[in-house]
Chain A
Amino acid sequence: MEELIKRKILIVEDEVSQRKALADKFARDGFTAIEAQDGEEGFAMAIKEQPDLILLDIVMPKMGGLEMLKKLRGENEWGKNVSVVVLSNLNENDVNVVSSIREDKPTCYLVKSNWAINELVEKVKTCLPKQV
């Protein structure tokens, strides 16, 4: 029963140290953390695993986070409504970031370095869809 309510978080992050830290932290907090190292892998995994929330980095090889988000929102029925927290070290008000992100409605946009990891986890939890 416990297993069933364990919530699944997909962490798409090319920076291994950060991905591992996040995965470790969320696992400790009782989440199922699954990992992808770029947008392509992230997109495939998201479709396959259909997590409750996606933590998405922007600057990644192969496919960036913004592209993946666009694809997710545009190509997949499930992807349209999934909670996505964009987690990046790019500033939210950087010109090109802002415009494309707003179109694709992420749930949250967080600048990594501004957040202590515990606070980040707390923040992400607020972004989770309410449990049915």
Chain B
Amino acid sequence: MKELNTKNIPKSVLFSSLIFFLIAFIVFNISNSFSIDSKKEYGATFEKYAEAISGNIIADEVARSELLYSARALFESSDSIMRNEWQTYSNAHSLRKSDTDSPLYPLYGLFYAPRVLSRNLNSYVAGVRNDKTVPELDLSKYTVISESTSTEYYPIHYLETREGEQSLLGFDISSVVSVNKILNVSLKNDVVKFTLATKLGMANDAYLIYVLPLFKNGSPHSTAEERDMNLIGYIGALYKKTDIYIHNKQVFGELLSSINLKVIDGADSENGSLLYESKSKSSVNSGKVPLFSVIKNSRPEGSYYIQFSSTPELDALVNNDLTSRLVIYMGILFAFLSAIYAYTLLDARRKAEDLAGIITKDLREKEVVLEQSEADLKNVIFGSNAGTWDWYIKTGKVTFNERWAEILGYTLAELEPVSIKTWETLAHPDDLKESDRLLNEHFEGKTEFYSFDSRMKHKDGSWVWVTDRGRVVEWDEAHKPVRMTGTHIDITKLKEIQKSLEESEEKFRALFERSSAVMLLINPDDGNIIDANQAAENFYGWTISQLKEMSIRQINTLDPNVVSRHMEEATQAKNVLFEFKHKRADGSVRDVEVFSNGIVIGGKKVLFSIISDITKRKNAEESLAIKIEELQQFREAVSNASDHIVISDVEGKIIYANKGAEQMTGYSKEEMIGKTPAIWGGQMPKKFYEELWHQIKELKQPFAGEITNKRKNGLLYESEVSITPIINIEGNIEYFVGVERDITKAKQIDRSKSEFVSVASHQLRTPLTAINWYSEMLLSGDAGKLNKKQNLYVSEVNASSMRMSELVTALLDVSRIELGTFSSSPKELDIIQVADSVIKEIQVNIKARNQKVIKEYGAKKIIEIMDQTLVRMIIQNLMTNSTKYTKEGGQINLSINKNEKEIEIKVKDNGYGIPLNQQDKVYNKFFRGENITQYAPDGTGLGLYITKQMVEKVGGNISFISEEGKGTEFTVKLPVIKE
């Protein structure tokens, strides 16, 4: 016999998570005490069954009360609660249809009914009629639905239901007499529970309603008077009974179906066929004894459910005066699965014990009934796969059920004779020690239960994992254990699952930590980094622990709201790929590709992101785009160039031709591609092409030259051509680029320019020649001797004409120089020989002026490649000047020398010299020294200009030293052409 204490046990919460389900287990106030009779007559089996029922009753009761308490807290947190706040709160508590997994799912609706005193009723009604926040209702006719004239009303003010039902707004919950009576209970207790009658317009008995009184904020409410004074209304929760079943079906559905035992959907006792009834229904109302019945449903599936009706005593136990039956729609199996509840809290377990005691006490009186039900229950035990054991500790006598043996691959018969030794033999030797320890703890009263996951040897030699649970059910006078009962549940599969889960988690861990890919685990709600790997530390430059203190919003350069949106997207979808810019510790920003995936870890959804640095790729893409653009521009330029541009392969086959090529040759691109440039070539000597090919293909050198080609229409054209071999890294020719510029016109212009000069010079000279010659012949006396005067006159004619000839020649030279038509064709020549021939040519003049020419040649022959005309003109001009501007009898020194770099020609005289103030004008066109015009009036002033142009044309230079009255020395340096 055992006395239970009577003290109030505070509310507490316990979560115990096991194989398939999770049950919230909270114990609330209890103020009665019951003595519990021995349960031994009814066996451990039924005890557990009772525990299960009570456990569920309590768990659900508590969860429902908790909801109301939290709703009350909502009101306590604020002076007034708006309708939309109530909606938000309600919807947050599993009012959505899809939340069938939630433990609160059976919740159908939440309401708030304020206390309205009759004198305030009119203003209250008026207030509601003006309430624009009530959706879709015609409030013009709103009134509080009440059947009686009361001093106070409790109209439903806010109502949120799963189906949006609001038709009960304004219903006075106290108007139902029985309910009113119930509400009076609230003067003493908190949670009040009842089944609403048809008055509420709902199916009879279909709703279970819990209400909680609401008091003025901060007011005392410990005594009945205080409670009545400060009561301001009620908060209520509606539960659809069918949903209570649906919810439990979610939890146990799979197992229920496996033993073909069903609880009927929405049915109550009237609709089922009663299989067994411990007491007539009428006695329920007497409130003296509880009712326990097993009901078979009338449907063909032959399903069962248990109906358990409360008694006033039981109601008192759970705090409330339950006037209505408490119907528990639970599968029978439910009871046995509850054996695995973790009763680690003393309060919870004691409560269960008490309930079990009450039930068993009542049932003991009905032995016949029990035998029958026990027989049924045994079947259920069998179906539940639990092995049972019953152990007399002192004697070692043990009873196992068939399932106990079956778990280990035996029949019970095979194990006979059984004793505690049977268990010791089959248990894993390594587990025995721990098992002994736990048993002793239990025997010493330190634990309420013995519970141990241990290994047992299977008949086939393998190890089977079982959860071994039990408790001492009988003690002797010395409080030593006499008898202990318990169960074995095969959890091998579970262990395997656990093991593989652990392994896969380990694998994930290893993969995460060691991966060279940057990985982050992110909380999608706030972006906080839950975990980061070494690669992330290396990449970002923050340590792993720093990263764990950060949010991804600090790393992503996007606006935090945008980041949140992306995280939501990634959490909902699977495998999302983003491109972002991520900041690093050193302040740098990298382009990254983020592969995000919502995964579940520890029941929580997190984002698993793999980050790859794509900065290089991005940069490459950008620079490629720029290059492509440049290439495009380049192509455009080539395509539109007026020059003819052709690209050919190594064999000369054309692979590209631009518009210029089309215009120049007259062939279309299509006609050219695949052919060789021979289609417009072939006009030059064979040798030319041989040399060309040798140059570009064998020597791999660019070729440049002038070439005559033939247009499609047969006309010839001249072009300047350059062909460049394009050589790859290996040094092989990839292709040839040929550029041609049509110079036909330019050539024609050049030709006509020089033709003009030729013609002009010829035409001017022809009459001059005649004048020269005939005047000369007259002077020579060819036509008879002239008298003095005649001779003088004709001499003037002759001299002027000669001067005119010189002038024509000089002018023509100047125009040739300036037009650029002066043609130079360097050839090997002996400069000494040229110089000598010039001296010979002007010998007549030298002799006439009685001058002396001194040759100072560095060698007998000075051979150099030069244009003869050019060299001749230079020497001739300088020598003629010296002759002209040196007094009679003067001396002219002509020196010619050659060194490695240049040929130096010096012409020195002791003539009139050039005045210092005029020396800078010497090379000007038509310049003549002021001091010499009197001595030599017939100079053209063009000689030095021409000479300087000539010298510079071949890259040489000319200079002089001169002193008036002393003489002049001109120096010309011409570069040597190196072979």
Asked whether A128 is an interface residue with its Cβ less than 8 Å from the other chain, the reply is no
Contact present for A17 and B758 (CB under 8 Å):
no
Contact present for B765 and A89 (CB under 8 Å):
yes
Asked whether A113 is an interface residue with its Cβ less than 8 Å from the other chain, the reply is yes
Question: How far apart are B83's CB and chain A's nearest CB, in angstroms?
Answer: 109
Contact present for A113 and B776 (CB under 8 Å):
no
Complex CA distance for A117 and B772, rounded to whole angstroms: 8
Q: Mark A86-128, 1 if CB is under 8 A from B, else 0.
A: 0011111111011000000000000111101111000000000
Question: How far apart are A23's CB and chain B's nearest CB, in angstroms?
Answer: 12
Complex CA distance for A114 and B773, rounded to whole angstroms: 11
Contact present for A93 and B822 (CB under 8 Å):
yes
Sort A-B residue pairs by CB-CB distance and give the 6 closest, nearest first.
Answer: A89-B765, A113-B765, A113-B805, A117-B773, A93-B869, A112-B769
Chain A interface helix/strand/loop/mixed: helix
Which of chain A's residues have a CB closer than 8 A to the CB of B816?
Answer: 93
Asked whether B777 is an interface residue with its Cβ less than 8 Å from the other chain, the reply is yes
Complex CA distance for A15 and B773, rounded to whole angstroms: 13
Whether A21 touches B777, Cβ cut-off 8 Å, given contacts A90-B762, A113-B809, is yes
Q: Mark A68-97, 1 if CB is under 8 A from B, else 0.
A: 000000000000000000001111111101
Which of chain B's residues have a CB closer than 8 A to the CB of A92?
Answer: 869
Complex CA distance for A59 and B770, rounded to whole angstroms: 16
Within 8 Å by CB of B821, from A90, A95, A116, lies A95
Whether A89 touches B822, Cβ cut-off 8 Å, given contacts A24-B782, A113-B808, is no
Which of chain B's residues have a CB closer than 8 A to the CB of A113?
Answer: 765, 768-769, 772, 805, 808-809
Complex CA distance for A15 and B774, rounded to whole angstroms: 14
Which of chain B's residues have a CB closer than 8 A to the CB of A18?
Answer: 766, 769-770, 773
Within 8 Å by CB of A25, from B782, B821, B825, lies B782
Contact present for B769 and A89 (CB under 8 Å):
yes
Within 8 Å by CB of A91, from B761, B777, B782, B844, lies B761
Contact present for A91 and B770 (CB under 8 Å):
no
* Residues A36-77 near B (CB distance < 8 A): 59
Given contacts A89-B765, A97-B758, A113-B765, 10 further A-B contacts (CB under 8 A): A17-B770, A18-B770, A25-B777, A25-B782, A90-B761, A91-B812, A93-B823, A113-B769, A116-B773, A117-B773
Question: How far apart are A51's CB and chain B's nearest CB, in angstroms?
Answer: 21
Ordered by A's residue number, 16 sampled pairs between the chains whose C-beta atoms are within 8 Å are A18-B773, A21-B773, A24-B777, A28-B782, A91-B761, A93-B823, A94-B758, A95-B754, A113-B765, A113-B805, A113-B808, A113-B809, A114-B805, A117-B773, A118-B780, A119-B844
Contact present for A15 and B766 (CB under 8 Å):
yes
Which of chain A's residues have a CB closer than 8 A to the CB of B758?
Answer: 90-91, 94, 97
Residues of A within 8 A of B (CB): 15, 17-18, 21-22, 24-25, 28, 59, 88-95, 97-98, 111-114, 116-119
Which of chain A's residues have a CB closer than 8 A to the CB of B768?
Answer: 113
Whether A118 touches B765, Cβ cut-off 8 Å, given contacts A93-B822, A94-B754, A113-B809, is no
Which of chain B's residues have a CB closer than 8 A to the CB of A116?
Answer: 772-773, 776, 802
Q: Mark B284-326, 1 if CB is under 8 A from A, else 0.
A: 0000000000000000000000000000000000000000000
Which of chain A's residues have a CB closer than 8 A to the CB of B821?
Answer: 95
Q: Mark B638-662, 1 if CB is under 8 A from A, else 0.
A: 0000000000000000000000000
Whether A95 touches B772, Cβ cut-off 8 Å, given contacts A89-B762, A113-B765, A113-B808, is no
Asked whether B757 is an interface residue with its Cβ less than 8 Å from the other chain, the reply is yes
Complex CA distance for A15 and B821, rounded to whole angstroms: 28
Complex CA distance for A113 and B635, rounded to whole angstroms: 58
Chain B interface helix/strand/loop/mixed: helix
Contact present for B773 and A94 (CB under 8 Å):
no
Contact present for A117 and B762 (CB under 8 Å):
no
Contact present for B782 and A112 (CB under 8 Å):
no
Complex CA distance for A22 and B176, rounded to whole angstroms: 160
Within 8 Å by CB of B770, from A15, A97, A114, A119, lies A15
Which of chain A's residues have a CB closer than 8 A to the CB of B754?
Answer: 94-95
Q: Which of B757, B768, B770, B816 has the most CB of A within 10 A?
A: B770
Which of chain A's residues have a CB closer than 8 A to the CB of B773?
Answer: 18, 21-22, 25, 116-117
* Residues B750-770 near A (CB distance < 8 A): 754, 757-758, 761-762, 764-766, 768-770
Whether A117 touches B776, Cβ cut-off 8 Å, given contacts A24-B782, A91-B761, A93-B869, is yes
Closest-by-CB residue of B relative to A92 is B869
Question: How far apart are A77's CB and chain B's nearest CB, in angstroms?
Answer: 29
Complex CA distance for A89 and B766, rounded to whole angstroms: 7
Contact present for B777 and A94 (CB under 8 Å):
no
Closest-by-CB residue of B relative to A58 is B762
Which of chain B's residues have a CB closer than 8 A to the CB of A117?
Answer: 772-773, 776-777
Whether A17 touches B774, Cβ cut-off 8 Å, given contacts A113-B805, A114-B805, A114-B809, is yes
Which of chain B's residues have a CB closer than 8 A to the CB of A98?
Answer: 823, 825
Complex CA distance for A121 and B28, rounded to whole angstroms: 152
Complex CA distance for A62 and B215, rounded to whole angstroms: 141
Closest-by-CB residue of B relative to A17 is B770
Question: How far apart are A102's CB and chain B's nearest CB, in angstroms?
Answer: 9
Q: Mark B765-792, 1 if CB is under 8 A from A, else 0.
A: 1101110111011001010000000000
Question: How far apart are A118's CB and chain B's nearest CB, in angstroms?
Answer: 6
Contact present for A21 and B825 (CB under 8 Å):
no
Which of chain B's residues have a CB closer than 8 A to the CB of A88?
Answer: 762
Which of chain B's residues have a CB closer than 8 A to the CB of A90?
Answer: 758, 761-762
Question: How far apart are A49's CB and chain B's nearest CB, in angstroms?
Answer: 24
Question: How far apart are B267's CB and chain A's nearest CB, in angstroms?
Answer: 125
Which of chain B's residues have a CB closer than 8 A to the CB of A25?
Answer: 773, 777, 782
Complex CA distance for A92 and B782, rounded to whole angstroms: 30
Question: How far apart are B875's CB and chain A's nearest CB, in angstroms?
Answer: 15
Which of chain A's residues have a CB closer than 8 A to the CB of B761?
Answer: 89-91
Q: Which of B765, B769, B780 has the most CB of A within 10 A?
A: B769
Which of chain A's residues have a CB closer than 8 A to the CB of B869?
Answer: 92-93
Q: Mark B853-896, 1 if CB is under 8 A from A, else 0.
A: 00000000000000001000000000000000000000000000
Q: Mark B16-50, 1 if CB is under 8 A from A, else 0.
A: 00000000000000000000000000000000000
Question: How far apart are B65's CB and chain A's nearest CB, in angstroms?
Answer: 121
Closest-by-CB residue of B relative to A112 is B769
Q: Mark B79-94, 1 if CB is under 8 A from A, else 0.
A: 0000000000000000
Complex CA distance for A114 and B822, rounded to whole angstroms: 19
Closest-by-CB residue of A relative to B813 is A91
Contact present for B765 and A112 (CB under 8 Å):
yes
Question: How far apart are A21's CB and chain B's nearest CB, in angstroms?
Answer: 5
* Residues B699-719 near A (CB distance < 8 A): none
Question: How far apart are B8's CB and chain A's nearest CB, in angstroms?
Answer: 132
Question: How far apart are B774's CB and chain A's nearest CB, in angstroms?
Answer: 6
Complex CA distance for A24 and B777, rounded to whole angstroms: 10
Which of chain A's residues have a CB closer than 8 A to the CB of B780?
Answer: 118
Which of chain B's residues have a CB closer than 8 A to the CB of A119?
Answer: 844
Complex CA distance for A119 and B777, rounded to whole angstroms: 12
Complex CA distance for A24 and B773, rounded to whole angstroms: 11
Question: How far apart are B277's CB and chain A's nearest CB, in angstroms?
Answer: 139
Complex CA distance for A112 and B812, rounded to whole angstroms: 15
Contact present for A21 and B844 (CB under 8 Å):
no
Closest-by-CB residue of A relative to B770 is A17
Question: How far apart are A57's CB and chain B's nearest CB, in angstroms?
Answer: 10
Q: Which of B773, B777, B825, B844 has the most CB of A within 10 A?
A: B773
Closest-by-CB residue of B relative to A25 is B777
Contact present for A21 and B809 (CB under 8 Å):
no
Question: How far apart are A94's CB and chain B's nearest CB, in angstroms?
Answer: 5
Which of chain A's residues have a CB closer than 8 A to the CB of B766?
Answer: 15, 18, 89
Q: Which of B782, B808, B821 has the most CB of A within 10 A?
A: B782
Which of chain B's residues have a CB closer than 8 A to the CB of A17?
Answer: 770, 774
Which of chain B's residues have a CB closer than 8 A to the CB of A93?
Answer: 816, 822-823, 869
Closest-by-CB residue of B relative to A89 is B765
Question: How far apart are B767's CB and chain A's nearest CB, in angstroms?
Answer: 9
Which of chain B's residues have a CB closer than 8 A to the CB of A89?
Answer: 761-762, 764-766, 769
Contact present for A21 and B765 (CB under 8 Å):
no
Closest-by-CB residue of B relative to A97 is B758
Which of chain B's residues have a CB closer than 8 A to the CB of A114?
Answer: 805-806, 809
